[in-house]
Structures are given as structure tokens and as C-alpha cells.
Amino acid sequence: MLVLALVTAFGRLPEDWQGGIRSIYPVVVLVVGAVLGWRFHRSRLLLALAVLVLCDRALIHVAPLPPDALGTRALRHGIAILLPINLAFLALAAERGIFTLRGMHRAIAIALQAGALALIHTYAGTRTLGGVARALADMPTPLLDLPIVALLAFGTAAAAMLYAFTMRGTATESGFFWAILIALIGVWPSGSDVTSSGCLATAGLTLVLSLVEASYGMAFRDELTGLPGRRALQEALIQLTGTYTVAMVDIDHFKKFNDRYGHDVGDQVLKMVAARLGRIRGGGKAFRYGGEEFTILFAGKDVEDAVEQLDSVRKDIGAIDFVIRAPGRPRKRPDTPRPRRRKSSKTRITVSAGAAERNNRNSGPDDVLRAADKALYKAKQQGRNKVCT
């Protein structure tokens, strides 16, 4: 998307393309984004698109006006300052729906900003708003013909998105980060109305694609463990051809462990096992099947190769000293040490696995999956903590 924005900004586009980029492209992005945002109840996307559309319309309005006019410079500088601030706020704010009280408050705040800039631009020559217009228009512009306040706003917003992405790692923060960078190209005063419309529309398209990516992740990835979920497993099974092996992995005595220590500790066990299975070698790919069960696909591998890798990861998991926090122990170390009520305990977690290969008897993915499940049951019957075929 950033490359597309740069091409739009600096490339020499045919004349017949420019009209479409200025008029059709933003409308298509707005309609698609509005439909998806409405369908998935994503008010942040809808409000972000509204911000981009308002900026686009304002920049098109002032494009034929003298660039050094007081009202024009005040409006351009105001947009350059408020655009990154609003995008960053929407990215970091919690999702509150479309017609909730907080959602309406955010929409009103955006409308008030747009109204204030429109009044400053229209009445820049009056005594009432002339001082505000001159303050915006006369801001120092050391780089890219943008005021230093706008550059600081864009830099702070991008840094905030990078930090949020490192903490959460979701497509939403990533989408807003790239949208802010693309929007920076769109508000360059030296750009034409085609450049600004194309870049701001591309910023909106980036946000729409981030929503699609986030929705895909929610549907195909397990939220607790981070592994691909059962729906992703079904998609992967359909695509398998030739030789392959399917393995079912189950945490031993997980129900008793969960009942004894609680669901929070049980979730930590699931995360630990999932992390180890996710790093399995030999071309294996791990999936969360459901509950305490996991599935590993070995595309192009026979059962002997798969068993070797499964046995290795089984031993790796069994060798870990899993620490169970004492009741009432804080998650973070306090500044002032508190007297210990009860020591934390350690335990070992083991897993059992069953593997099956595609062959004449098990020709389809569902057949291989059932055979692997039978092999897992066999491992359970033989005392657990082992791999069977």
C-alpha cells in the first residue's frame, strides 16, 4: 500500500487515470469500508474513514485556491496536525460499537474539529478567527513544507502504533501504522489534488485490508495459544496431496490438572505446550484441535519421520519444570517484598501422541485423522507419555 501511494504521488499517471483516482477510487474504498465496518461492527474503521474523507474533500476544495492564501494555509496546516492525532486515537481506543454513547461522542468530536477548521478557513480574514488562522498559517515549516507541530504529530502517532503493535501484534495496529505513513504523503502541500485523494484513499484501503486480516485471524487462529485453529486445519487437510502424516497430540491428565489448579493455570499449560508444538521440526505444522488436543500435519513425510519428531518434542515438554504460582502471588514482582504464605510448586507436564500416514487403507484426510485419533487412544491405553502409530 505504501508503494501504491508513492506511485500515485510521484508517478506520471495518464490523464484519464487521474479523474478516476480523484473521484472513483475514494468512493469505492469508502463504500467497501463502510459495508465491512457496518457488517463487523467496527466503529473505529468507520470513523477513520470519515476522517480521511473529510480531509480529502477539504484538500480538493482548496486545491484551485492560491496556496499562499491565509485561509488555505491555515486549513492545510490544521488538517496536517489533526489527521495523525485522530488516526492514532482511534487505533488506541477500545472498540465501542457504532451507536453506543462513546461511539457517538467520538463522531461528534470529529464533526466539531471539521466544523472548526471550516470556520477558520472561511472567516480567516475576520477579527474573530483571523488570529487563529494566522497562528496556523504562520507556523514554521522546516521540512516538506509541513509545520513542525504536524511533523511531531505524525512521528508520535507512528511511534505509538509501533509500540502498540509490539505489545499486541494485531493487524489493526499494523494497518493504522501504515495508514498514518501513507496519509503523510497525502497532506504534502506540494502534492496535487490527485495525489492527496489517491494517498488518502490508499490509507483508507490499508485500514480496510487490516480489518479483513484481523477477521481472518479471528476465524482461523486460536486466540489463547496463537496456533491456527480447527477451521484452518480443515483448510490445510483439503490441500494435502501425496504422502503426508497426521498426528493427534493430547495433554495427559489435563482435566484433573485443571480441576486441581484452576483454569488460569490450565491456560498457561496450554500455552506452554502450544509454544513447544509450534516449534516442532521436520516440516510439521501444529494446530489447536480443541480442548487439550492438538493436531500436527507433516506434509510430504512418512510416519517414521513424523514419529521421530513427535518423540523429540514429547521429551522436550516432559523435561520442563512447570512452575505453579502460589495462591495470591502477584503476577509482577512488587517494589516491597511481602512475606511468603506458601511456596510455589513445580510439576511436569506430559503429552501423548498418535500418528497415521496416508496409505491405501486411509486414503482421505478424514480417514487419516481418524486413524491418528485411534493411535492416540492406543498411547493412552499403554500408559500415556508416548507416541504410537
Q: With 0-12 CB in 10 A as exposed, 13-18 as middle and 19+ as buried, what is 335?
A: exposed
**What is the spatial order of strands in the sheet that 244-251 belongs to?**
284-290, 293-299, 244-251, 351-357, 387-388
Strand partners, 286: 296
C-alpha cell at 127: 477579527
Q: In 3D, which of 361, 345, 355 has the Cα closest to residue 313?
A: 355
d(CA 135, CA 151): 16
Nearest-angstrom CA–CA distance, 223 and 226: 5
**Separation between Cα atoms, residue 308 and residue 320, nearest integer Å:** 19
> What are the φ and ψ backbone dihedral angles of 347, each rounded to 5 degrees?
-145, 170
**Is 292 noted as a catalytic residue in this protein?**
yes
Q: Give the 3-state secondary structure percentages of the chain, helix then strand then coil, rounded to 5.
A: 60, 10, 25
- Give the type of residue at 88: A
Task: With CA atoms as reference, report the closest residue to 158 among 176, 171, 142.
Answer: 176
From the CB of residue 20, how many other CB atoms can be counted at a distance below 10 Å?
15
**CA distance linking residue 70 with residue 117, whole number of Å:** 13
* Active-site option among 95, 173, 223, 292: 292
Residues identified as active-site: 292
